Amino acid sequence: MEASEKLTIQALKAHDKVHPKFKSAGKSLQQKSRASLLSSPEDPSEGKNKQEDGNMSRRSRTLSTSSMSKKSETTPKRSGITFFRIVAATRAWQRLAKKKNRQPTTPNKPAVLLENTYQLEPEGDKVFIPRKAEIVIQETFDSRLLHVKYDPVRSKILAKDLATIINKKIKDLELPRYKTVSSVTIVENRGQGLNIATRCIWNTNTDNYATYTYTNKSLIAIGHVHAVYYE
């Protein structure tokens, strides 16, 4: 065996250790080299040509492996969820929670408008008088329902608006510590009778109500105002 063939076989063995994917190619070349040694070459130039072919194949393999390594370097690594990232995320959430807890929180307490005076009854001139409330209802109905015709759809909206207006006018009477409830009922006028009843649990010395009925050719409107003293 010549020295050059020994060197090529050693190089192929070293290549197979570094690149195990090409072991089959190295073994085939070793077998070819052994077969060539056993068979007597007819021409010394043939041995040189075979050696050059082996060197060329080895160079092509090295070029292919270098190109594969470059491709693996250029391809970006996929970022997966790891244990360290989970730990970092939990620590970040803990820091945000601590910052929020450190910020002063303003309690949503209702503003105190009136202090407790332990006053169980209204003053003499600040009592709910039903006659004043009836005048308010009458004036509202006369100004808003004079030329109005009954309409089943429009009457619902009209009754709500009238109740709101009456409640605001009752508050303008300046009755402290009184809570008022206003209601309006509108029905079609066809000469029929109508009775409306209300029941309340209250103090008869301080609490009271007012009612007024308005009629025209098309409709009947009934207004109620209930006033309850708040201790």
**pLDDT tens-place string over residues 73-112:** 555 555 556 777 888 888 888 888 887 777 666 667 777 6
Which residue, 67, 92, 116, sits at the end of a domain?
A: 67
User: What single letter denotes the amino acid at residue 12?
Assistant: L
Question: What's the pLDDT at 198?
Answer: 86
Question: What's the pLDDT at 169?
Answer: 95
The pLDDT tens digits of the residues spanning 42-76 come to 444 545 555 555 555 555 555 555 555 555 555 55
Distance, CA of 231 to CA of 228 (rounded, Å):
10
Looking at residue 149, which CATH number applies to its domain?
3.30.1140.40
Q: Are residues 143 and 225 in the same domain?
A: yes
Q: Which residues of 116-137 are buried (b: 16+ CB within 10 A; e: fewer)?
A: eeeeeebeeeeebeeeebeebb
The pLDDT tens digits of the residues spanning 37-49 come to 444 444 445 455 5
The answer as to whether 77 is a domain residue is: no
Higher-confidence position of 199 and 40: 199
Whole-Å CA distances, 195 to 187, 213, 218, 220: 12, 11, 18, 12
User: What single letter denotes the amino acid at residue 195?
Assistant: N
pTM of the model: 0.50
What is the number of domains present in the chain?
2
Q: Quick one: tokens of 136?
A: 């308010």
User: Do the Cβ atoms of 185 and 222 come closer than 8 Å?
Assistant: yes
Residue 196's domain comprises: 130-229
